């Protein structure tokens, strides 16, 4: 019937030009000609008609997935029909381009937005909390009732008794985020932050650099010559960007996936290393040891950029400081080097300069130059210096680091990690020689109790190889757009003083997490942790949250009760204290289910906003394709309605202004003026005005009106010619400037600082990074690893019927077949995972992609989808583990600083076990 | 006149199912189509979608005779989309746990990431599948009413929805099980290679929307296009199960997984995916293809040029699509 393919192929191999010419004549007329000679197929027209639409809107999904993929949203017959990636972006600096970013969740949104989980009307609880019995009420009624309670608590307990939690649906939508901050600033409510709050804060970066937003665009991966994918699975969690890794591999980059489980990223890597869960510090330190021993380190870089040549007293192991000498007005932040050029002690350039007063905006902090200007610091050696206490032996941080690394030989690391010592050496050597080498890190690196040590080990590895601050080198975690427009907008009245609470500490106090520590880890650990917790308050290093009761919780774009470690326990403890819970949400979920009021929020294609995500060099619009469903409104409008109700009630009840004080700033809060404050006396009429303010005042973006941006969809940021975020871009470039312009770091030593001679760091032997085993529970052999899901973003889209059909229809957990066999479990069985503090039930998915004594589960599954509404959080008994050294203060870069230095909510230090579920 | 074709580079496929979803929301979102995934992605080795399709028969035997006795797949073999009890739990408060209205038996991606072999030398990879728009389509030959035709202009194989009588002989004859029965209209349906888009110079949804940037679209005969280069010049793109005899026009660049470990824990030379398994999928040619890929990748590692790697990297996204009047927007 058809020509044999063989003939055809031979012909083409011979290059029959005429055949090719013909085949390419694939334009409209060719089709028309074809229909002349062939029977007309009317059904084909039906298919052609199906691919038509009434209008296209440019938008994206504001979920903090880090994608911000440009979409065309197609509207047909008044509803969103489907979406498709908008198109060609263009490339950065000789790397692959960004087309066509997107993922299956995004492509599913057109259907999900009409799903039955949508909250369409304001709801007031009529049954028990969590029962799902509601009364539909009007926005007016809801807001007035909420406002009344809000005022009651403010008057009786003060603004601190109310929290306003914001989550992943909020943080990246610039205007929504700014609106909520503005509301919070006017009201003075507490905002428990969700950076360290979800265990994502790189405290190790703050310790080392005094700066945590490290990261450039994703195209930078292509510029690296050796890329370690560590603590993450970008093939699953960074779907729009994963291609850069394999493209780099094709381009000659050694891409090494380091992960206990064989995941989709390991599959495509040049090499896969499988350290035992929680053993990564040993691996990193063994690599450091290898490089130091090989002497393949980057001496010049170390001398200039790090504290490794700084002198340390051998007697007390403290840095040698000016205060060690009999100098009038000696400074304790002046440090020393041993200059090999003159064989003499010299002051370390840039040290000893006065520190900026607290509260100085980041970008206004003046930093000294660290240029060595002729000094040639010794990195190795021992000398005697004459101090006010007499002669003292001194050595360098580098020497001490060598000693520390020697406690982590590859052989020792093999014992801990299970990775062969030769492989560790091989990878270390590749990493040292590749230039540039990078670590593409995931947030799993901050979810261990000792995540900071882990990160410090990684930074040390990057420093001795001279990689931090190079294009294609260094550690990539995230960057954040500067808040140079958001803060002026949000914090303009009544005064710039809003309250951010450290979430882990907030929970510790308000959800009784000391109790949990006791149950999970025993009295001794609970008391020890508590001692440091209290001491950090007593010494004024961290604020005290125990003075004011928690009365009212408002949750915006966050499913707070879904992801807390300790699971149901948090929900039960925290919520039992809350008299009023209000949720602003697009879709139902556990947090809304247990709320007293639920307010409907407009979904992604039903609102105006814009996005700045550091993964690409673009700014992306969120535009309204259709009117919001039901009575849902955007966040600006929701909070405006609440502001209006507060003013109205305050006037009605004649509530006088209350006195408040935020970190020393006295403020009068006049609730009658709430609406005027919020809308700037009516001058801000809608979210579009908020957006325009931000567009007009943000640095690093093109000057554009919202409507023009919406017309285009995305616009390239300034300073984005290379794959690195430059000074001109909307993102932070501090590390780059330190490395290339020799501008001091925001640390005590103004260097990448690896040596922390704080008293608490001595107590815990953390002055230099070292391996510490993750906590385990005796008698519970299974280590459960978790990560972001493939078929959902956090808890969003997890309950979409189609996406579930691409999974197992319910939450599942990966189990090694041999472990399963031992327990009489077969694929598809329900199993119960348990430890001392709780248990949950889900489906066993057998795969040898995980090793024995290892379980892997995607996080984010809403507890509503589990029996007893108890998800994996049940066994993640780490909510009370608050690392003492992360509470240290009074030392340079250490001390409470929201989004920079505060203890993470930890998620990985525990073990569990499982058995076949016997119930039905 | 021409044959439109696709090459999928399995070394870039991350199993994200964006292609599946893209196709679904464009073509199979109507009643009767719930279970259909014209494009699906399955974990290999594994039973795939529909389950155990490779054991279902169809295609041509060694003599070139049509095998009409392939299995007729049912909805259940595919798994389906089942609604959840959202209303009952969330708004009526009559049920407690949010779940599917009835449990899913098995689904199209049930074995996602189900690895073969023993940890840490286990192996699996993702295989996106669609109708191969075969040069010798057994579906077409099997149809007693000649409802199936292969367009001359582009070689796309289509089922005329006006002519189809729902006899489902095609379903049995397609060895790839890429024919679906619409239980509402009573007609057989399948991938149409997005011909309406193709006619406008827009690549098929599964390819254009693939964030992995791995699905090349173009005419097999076009010597200047990547497809021709990958299939005929570099010979690294191979048809799936060539032994089925239908001469597929979808080709795959075979997967290269990271090295395994020997008993002492050092890297071993034993390939992670047994070559025998790859041969069973892509034929003997896979050996040569893997050598070529490895060789060219090493050239890049040594800092040399490689045209093959450059094609596969596809620095410019648009370079994946070599179709007439190509439009990206
Ligand atoms: S959900 Fe995120 S990653 Fe997926 S398409 Fe939308 S913006 Fe892109
Ligand atoms: S969209 Fe692309 S990367 Fe994702 S599963 Fe399909 S073919 Fe693979
Ligand atoms: S894959 Fe099956 S349905 Fe498609 S053309 Fe070939 S035989 Fe026909």
Each residue of A554-564: pLDDT tens digit? Answer: 999 999 999 99
Contact A808 B124 (CB under 8 A): no
Six-digit token pair at A266?
A: 């390991």
CA B128 to centroid of ligand 2, rounded, Å: 7
Residue A600 forms beta bridges with which residues? Answer: A585
Q: In the structure, which protein residues have their CB atom closer than 6 angstroms to any atom of ligand 2?
A: B 13-19, 41, 126, 128, 210, 212, 214-215
Cβ contact, residue pair A24, B90, below 8 Å? no
Question: What's the pLDDT score for residue B69?
Answer: 82
Distance from CA of A417 to the nearest CA of B (A): 11
SS3 labels along A429-455: HHHHHHCCEEEEECHHHHCCCCHHHHH
Ligand nearest B13 Cα, by number?
Answer: 2
- Give the total number of structural domains in chain B: 1
Check residue A4 and give its pLDDT.
Answer: 33
For the ranges A71-75, A239-243, A359-363, A907-911, which has the lowest average pLDDT? Answer: A359-363
Task: For an interface test with A, give the residue of B21, B139, B194 to mutate (most A CBs within 10 A).
Answer: B21
Determine which of B258, B263, B301 to mutate to test the interface with A (most A C-beta atoms within 10 Å).
Answer: B258
Domain membership of residue B95 (yes or no) is: no
Q: Crossing angle of helices A139-157/A635-652, nearest 10°?
A: 60
Return the closest-CA partner of residue A884 out of A473, A409, A327, A504.
A504
Please name the residue of chain A whose CA is at the shortest distance from the CA of residue B64: A4
Report chain A residues whose CB lies below 8 A from the CB of B117.
848
**pLDDT of A13 strictly over 80:** no
CA angle at residue A679 from A678 to A681, to 5 degrees? 110
Q: Is residue B241 part of a domain?
A: yes
For residue A407, the distance in angstroms to the closest alpha carbon of chain B comes to 22
C-alpha atoms less than 13 angstroms from C-alpha of A560 in its C-beta half-sphere: 32
Summarised one tens digit per residue, pLDDT across range A803-861 is: 999 999 999 999 999 999 999 999 999 999 999 999 999 999 999 999 999 999 999 99
Q: Which of A96, A808, A866 is facing B314, going by the closest CB pair? A: A96
Structure-token match 């009365």, residue found: A551
CATH topology of domain A123-200+482-502+542-716: Rossmann fold (3.40.50)
User: Closest residue of B to A845, CA-based?
Assistant: B114
Q: A657 pLDDT exceeds 60?
A: yes
Query: Which band of pLDDT confidence, cut at 50, 70 and 90, is reported for residue A74?
Result: very high
CA distance A18 to A189: 75
Q: Which helix (H) or strand (E) holds B246?
A: none
Instruction: Count Cβ atoms below 10 Å from residue A396 Cβ, excluding itself.
Output: 24
B269 to chain A, any CB pair closer than 8 A? The answer is: no
Question: Do residue B265 and residue A251 have CB atoms under 8 angstroms apart?
Answer: no
User: Would you put residue A538 in left (φ > 0), alpha (ψ -120 to 50) or beta?
Assistant: alpha
Query: Could you tell me the pLDDT band of residue B70, with boundaries at 50, 70 and 90?
Result: confident
Which residues in chain B have their CB less than 8 angstroms from residue A418's CB?
A: 265
Separation of CA B19 and ligand 1 centre (Å) = 14
Mean pLDDT of A625-640: 98
Mean pLDDT of B249-257: 98
CB contact under 8 A, B110 and A808: yes
CB of B18 within 8 Å of a chain A CB? The answer is: yes
Closest-CA distance, B56 to chain A, in angstroms, reads: 22
Contact present, A608 and A623 (Cβ < 8 Å): yes
CB contact under 8 A, A43 and B162: yes
Give me the domain span that covers residue B188.
4-83+105-322
Q: Residues of chain A with pLDDT > 90: what percent? A: 90
Residues sharing a CB contact under 8 Å with residue B91, sequence separation 6 or more, in sequence order: A132, A134, A588
Ligand nearest to the CA of B139: 3
User: Would B298 be classed as within a structural domain?
Assistant: yes
Which residue on chain A is closest to B294 by alpha carbon? A250
Q: What is the dihedral of CA A387, A389, A394, A396, to 10 degrees?
A: -80
**Atom 6 (ligand 1) nearest CA:** A106
Q: Is residue B122 part of a domain?
A: yes
Which residues of A are less than 8 Å from B22 in CB distance?
A: 84, 107
Report the pLDDT value the prediction gives residue B94, as an integer from 0 to 100.
Answer: 98
**Out of B86, B153, B213, closest to residue A117 by CB:** B86
Q: Write out residues with Cβ below 6 Å of ligand 3.
A: B 131-134, 137-139, 157, 174, 176, 178-179, 190, 246
Distance A804 CA to ligand 2 centre (A): 17
Whether residue A134 and residue B211 make contact (CB cut-off 8 A), yes or no, is no
CB-based contact A48 B199, cutoff 8 Å = yes
Contact assignment for B301 to A252 by CB distance below 8 Å: yes
pLDDT in tens, A568-580: 999 999 999 999 9
Ligand 2: which of B112, B126, B250, B317 to mutate, judged by most atoms within 8 Å of the beta carbon? B126
Our answer on whether the CB atom of A63 is closer than 6 Å to any ligand 1 atom is: yes
Q: How, if at all, do strands A658-662 and A618-622 pair?
A: unpaired
d(CA B282, CA B287): 10
Packing angle, helices A451-464 and A280-294, rounded to 10:
20
Q: Using a CB-CB distance cutoff of 8 angstroms, which residues of chain A are in contact with residue B107?
A: 805-809
> Tokens 């400081």 map to which residue?
A321
Contact B57, B175 (CB under 8 A): yes
Closest residue to B211, CB basis, from A24, A240, A418: A240
Q: Scanning every residue of chain A, which has its alpha carbon at the shortest distance from the alpha carbon of B29?
A: A111
Instruction: Tell me how far apart the alpha carbons of residues A576 and B290 are, in angstroms, rounded to a whole number.
Output: 61
pTM for this prediction: 0.95
pLDDT, tens digit, 9 for 90 and up, residues A182-230? 999 999 999 999 899 999 999 999 999 999 999 999 999 999 999 999 9
CATH number at residue B243: 3.30.70.20
**Mean pLDDT lowest for which of A478-492, A783-797, B119-133, B164-178?**
A478-492
Q: Whose CA is nearest to atom 4 of ligand 2?
A: B16
**Mutation choice for ligand 3 from B137, B169, B251, CB with most ligand atoms inside 8 A:** B137
List the residue whose alpha carbon is closest to atom 3 of ligand 1: A67
Q: How confident is the model at residue A484 (pLDDT cuts 50, 70, 90)?
A: confident
- Ligand 1 within 6 A of CB of A101: yes
pLDDT digit string, tens, across residues A450-467: 999 999 999 999 999 999
Task: State whether A132 and B154 contact (CB < 8 Å).
Answer: no
Mean pLDDT check: name the lowest of A70-84, A347-361, B245-259: A347-361
| pLDDT at residue A96, rounded to an integer | 96
Whether residue B281 is contained in a domain is answered as yes
Nearest to A251 by CA among A459, A405, A95, A25: A95
| Residue B236 covered by a domain | yes
CA distance B1 to chain A (A): 5
Would B92 be classed as within a structural domain?
Answer: no
Tell whether the model's pLDDT for residue A701 goes beyond 80.
yes
Q: B325 falls in which pLDDT band (50, 70, 90)?
A: confident
Whole-number percent of chain B with pLDDT over 90: 92
Q: Kindly list the distances between the CA atom of residue A829 and the CA atoms of A780, A798, A819, A919, B148, in Å, as whole numbers in the listed order.
A: 21, 21, 13, 11, 43
Common-topology check for domains A123-200+482-502+542-716 and A783-916: no
Highest mean pLDDT among A38-47, A166-175, A838-847: A838-847
Where helices occur in B16-165 by DSSP H, the ranges are 18-27, 75-78, 86, 138-142
Closest CA to B106 of B42, B54, B13, B175: B42
* pLDDT exceeds 90 at position A386: yes
A783-916: CATH number: 2.40.40.20
How far, in Å, is the centroid of ligand 2 from the Cα of A105? 13
Ligand 1 and A622: CB distance under 6 A: no
Contact at CB, A84 and B118, closer than 8 angstroms: no
Residues 722-741, chain A, touching B (beta carbon < 8 A): none
Residue B328's pLDDT is 61
Confidence at A5, pLDDT banded by 50, 70, 90: very low
Compute the average pLDDT of residues B196-208: 96
Q: Whose CA is nearest to atom 1 of ligand 1?
A: A106
What confidence tier does A36 reach under pLDDT thresholds 50, 70, 90? very low
Q: pLDDT tens, A679-690?
A: 999 999 999 999
**Average pLDDT, integer, range A105-119:** 97
Mark yes or no for CB contact A47/B196 under 8 Å. yes
Interface of B with A in 115-144 (CB under 8 A): 115-120, 122, 124-126, 135-136, 140-141
The answer to whether B234 contacts chain A (CB < 8 Å) is no
Residue B282 has pLDDT above 70, yes or no: yes
Residue A413 to residue A421: CA distance in whole angstroms: 7
- Domain residue limits, chain A: 5-50, 123-200+482-502+542-716, 783-916
- pLDDT of amino acid A32: 38
- Select the more confidently predicted residue: A495 or B319: B319
Measured distance CA(A662)–CA(A664) in Å, rounded: 5
A131 has a chain B CB within 8 A of its CB = yes
Q: How confident is the model at residue A20 (pLDDT cuts 50, 70, 90)?
A: very low
Residue B311 lies in a domain: yes
Confidence at A358, pLDDT banded by 50, 70, 90: confident
User: In sequence order, which ranges of A511-653 are alpha helices (DSSP H)?
Assistant: 513-521, 523-538, 560-563, 568-577, 590-593, 635-652
List of chain B residues whose C-beta atoms are within 8 Å of the C-beta of residue A19 = 1, 221
Beta bridge partners of A420: none
User: If you average pLDDT over every residue of chain A, what do you get?
Assistant: 93
Non-local CB neighbours of A149 within 8 Å, separated by 6+ positions: A552, A579, A580
- Across A671-680, B3-12, B73-82, B253-262, least confident range: B73-82
Chain A environment of B112 (Cβ under 8 Å): 790, 806-807
């Amino acid at each position: 019937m058809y020509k044999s393919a063989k003939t055809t192929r031979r012909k083409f191999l011979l290059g029959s030009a005429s055949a090719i010419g013909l085949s390419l004549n694939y334009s409209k007329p060719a089709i028309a000609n074809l229909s002349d000679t062939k029977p007309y197929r009317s059904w084909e027209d039906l298919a052609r008609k199906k691919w038509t639409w009434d209008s296209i809107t440019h938008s994206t999904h504001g979920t903090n997935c880090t994608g911000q993929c440009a979409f065309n949203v197609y509207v047909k017959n008044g509803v969103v029909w489907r979406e498709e990636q908008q198109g060609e972006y263009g490339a950065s600096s000789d790397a692959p381009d960004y087309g066509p970013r997107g993922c299956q969740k995004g492509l599913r949104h057109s259907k999900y937005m009409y799903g039955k989980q949508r909250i369409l009307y304001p709801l007031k609880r009529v049954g028990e909390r969590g029962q799902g019995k509601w009364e539909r009420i009007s926005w007016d009624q809801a807001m007035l009732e909420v406002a009344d309670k809000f005022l009651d608590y403010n008057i009786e307990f003060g603004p601190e008794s109310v929290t306003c939690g914001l989550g992943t649906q909020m943080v990246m939508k610039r205007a929504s985020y700014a609106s909520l901050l503005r509301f919070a600033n006017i009201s003075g409510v507490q905002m428990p932050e969700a950076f360290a709050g979800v265990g994502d804060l790189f405290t190790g970066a703050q310790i080392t650099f005094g700066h945590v937003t490290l990261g450039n665009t994703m195209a930078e991966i292509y510029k690296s010559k050796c890329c370690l994918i560590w603590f993450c699975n970008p093939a699953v969690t960074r779907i729009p960007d994963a291609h850069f890794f394999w493209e780099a591999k094709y381009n000659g980059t050694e891409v090494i996936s380091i992960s206990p489980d064989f995941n989709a990223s390991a599959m495509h890597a040049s090499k896969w290393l499988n350290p035992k869960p929680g053993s990564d510090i040993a691996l990193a330190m063994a690599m450091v040891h290898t490089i130091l021993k090989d002497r393949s380190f980057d001496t010049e870089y170390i001398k200039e950029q790090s504290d490794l040549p700084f002198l340390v007293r051998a007697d007390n192991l403290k840095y040698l400081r000016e205060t060690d000498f009999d100098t009038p007005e000696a400074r304790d932040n002046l440090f020393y080097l041993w200059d090999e050029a003159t064989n003499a002690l010299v002051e370390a350039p840039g040290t000893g300069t006065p520190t900026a007063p607290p509260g100085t905006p980041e970008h206004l902090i003046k930093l000294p130059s660290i240029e060595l200007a002729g000094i040639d610091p010794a990195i190795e050696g021992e000398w005697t210096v004459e101090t006010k206490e007499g002669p003292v032996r001194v050595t360098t941080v580098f020497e001490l680091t060598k000693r520390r690394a020697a406690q982590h030989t590859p052989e020792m690391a093999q014992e801990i990690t299970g990775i062969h010592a030769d492989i560790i050496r091989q990878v270390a050597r590749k990493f040292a020689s590749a230039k540039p080498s990078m670590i593409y890190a995931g947030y799993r690196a901050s979810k261990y109790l000792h995540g900071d040590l882990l990160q410090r080990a990684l930074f040390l590895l990057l420093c001795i190889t001279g990689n931090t601050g190079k294009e294609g080198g260094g550690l990539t975690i995230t960057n954040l757009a500067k808040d140079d427009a958001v803060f002026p907008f949000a914090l303009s009245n009544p005064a710039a003083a809003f309250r951010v609470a450290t979430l882990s500490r907030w929970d510790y106090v308000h959800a009784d997490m000391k109790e949990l520590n006791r149950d999970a880890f025993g009295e001794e650990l609970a008391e020890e942790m508590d001692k440091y917790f209290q001491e950090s308050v007593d010494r004024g290093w961290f604020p005290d949250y125990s003075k004011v009761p928690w009365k009212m919780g408002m949750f915006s774009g966050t499913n707070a009760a879904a992801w807390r470690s300790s699971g149901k326990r948090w929900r039960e403890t925290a919520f039992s204290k809350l008299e009023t819970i209000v949720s602003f949400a697009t879709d139902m979920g556990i947090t809304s289910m247990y709320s007293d009021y639920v307010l409907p929020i407009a979904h992604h294609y039903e609102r105006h906003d814009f996005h700045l995500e550091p993964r690409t060099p673009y700014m992306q619009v969120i535009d309204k394709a259709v009117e919001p469903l039901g009575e849902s409104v955007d966040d600006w409008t929701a909070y405006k309605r609440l502001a209006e109700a507060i003013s109205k009630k305050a006037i009605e009840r004649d509530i006088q202004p209350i006195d408040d004080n935020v970190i020393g700033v006295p403020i009068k809060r006049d609730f009658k003026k709430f609406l005027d404050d919020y809308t700037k006396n009516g001058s801000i009429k809608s979210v579009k005005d908020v957006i325009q303010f931000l567009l007009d005042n943000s640095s690093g973006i093109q000057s554009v009106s919202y409507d023009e941006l919406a017309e285009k969809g995305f616009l390239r940021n300034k300073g984005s010619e290379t794959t690195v975020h430059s000074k001109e871009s909307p993102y932070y470039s501090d590390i780059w400037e330190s490395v290339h312009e020799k501008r001091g770091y925001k640390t005590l030593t103004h260097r990448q600082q690896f040596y922390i001679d704080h008293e608490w760091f001595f107590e815990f032997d953390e002055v230099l990074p070292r391996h510490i085993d993750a906590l385990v529970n005796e008698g519970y052999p299974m280590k459960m690893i978790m990560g972001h899901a493939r078929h959902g973003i956090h808890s969003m889209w997890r309950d979409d019927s189609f996406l579930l059909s691409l999974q197992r229809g319910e939450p599942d957990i990966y189990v090694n077949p041999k472990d399963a066999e031992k327990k009489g479990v077969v694929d598809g069985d329900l199993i119960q995972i348990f430890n001392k503090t709780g248990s949950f039930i889900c489906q066993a998915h057998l795969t040898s992609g995980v090793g024995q004594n290892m379980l892997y589960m995607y996080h984010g599954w809403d507890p509503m989808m589990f029996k007893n509404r108890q998800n994996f959080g049940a066994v993640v008994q780490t909510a009370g583990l608050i690392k003492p050294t992360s509470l240290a203060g009074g030392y340079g870069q250490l001390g409470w600083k929201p989004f920079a230095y505060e203890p993470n909510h930890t998620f990985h230090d525990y073990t569990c076990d499982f058995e076949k579920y016997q119930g039905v | 006149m021409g044959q439109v074709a696709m090459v999928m580079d399995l070394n870039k496929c991350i199993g994200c199912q964006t292609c599946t979803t893209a196709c679904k929301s464009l073509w199979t979102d109507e009643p009767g189509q719930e279970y259909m995934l014209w494009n699906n992605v399955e974990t290999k080795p594994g039973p795939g979608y529909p389950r155990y399709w490779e054991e279902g028969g169809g295609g041509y035997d060694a003599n070139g005779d049509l095998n009409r006795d392939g299995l007729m797949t049912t909805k259940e073999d595919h798994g389906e989309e089942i609604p959840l009890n959202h209303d009952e739990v969330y708004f009526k408060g009559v049920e407690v746990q949010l779940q599917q209205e009835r449990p899913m038996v098995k689904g199209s991606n049930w074995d996602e990431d189900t690895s073969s072999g023993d940890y840490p030398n286990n192996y699996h990879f993702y295989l996106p599948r669609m109708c191969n728009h075969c040069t010798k389509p057994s579906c077409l030959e099997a149809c007693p009413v000649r409802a199936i035709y292969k367009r001359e202009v582009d070689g796309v194989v289509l089922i005329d929805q006006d002519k189809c009588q729902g006899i489902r002989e095609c379903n049995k004859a397609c060895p790839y099980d890429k024919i679906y029965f619409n239980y509402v209209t009573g007609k057989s349906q399948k991938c149409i290679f997005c011909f309406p888009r193709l006619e406008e110079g827009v690549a098929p949804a599964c390819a254009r929307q693939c964030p992995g940037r791995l699905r090349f679209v173009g005419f097999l005969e076009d010597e200047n296009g990547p497809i021709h280069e990958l299939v005929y010049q570099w010979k690294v793109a191979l048809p799936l199960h060539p032994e089925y005899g239908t001469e597929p026009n979808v080709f795959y660049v075979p997967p290269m997984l990271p090295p395994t470990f020997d008993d002492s824990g050092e890297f071993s030379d034993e390939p992670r995916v047994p070559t025998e398994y790859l041969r069973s999928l892509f034929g003997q040619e896979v050996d040569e293809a893997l050598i070529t890929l490895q060789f060219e990748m090493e050239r890049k590692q040594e800092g040399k040029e490689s045209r093959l790697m450059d094609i596969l990297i596809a620095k410019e996204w648009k370079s994946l699509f070599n179709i007439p009047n190509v439009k990206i927007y």
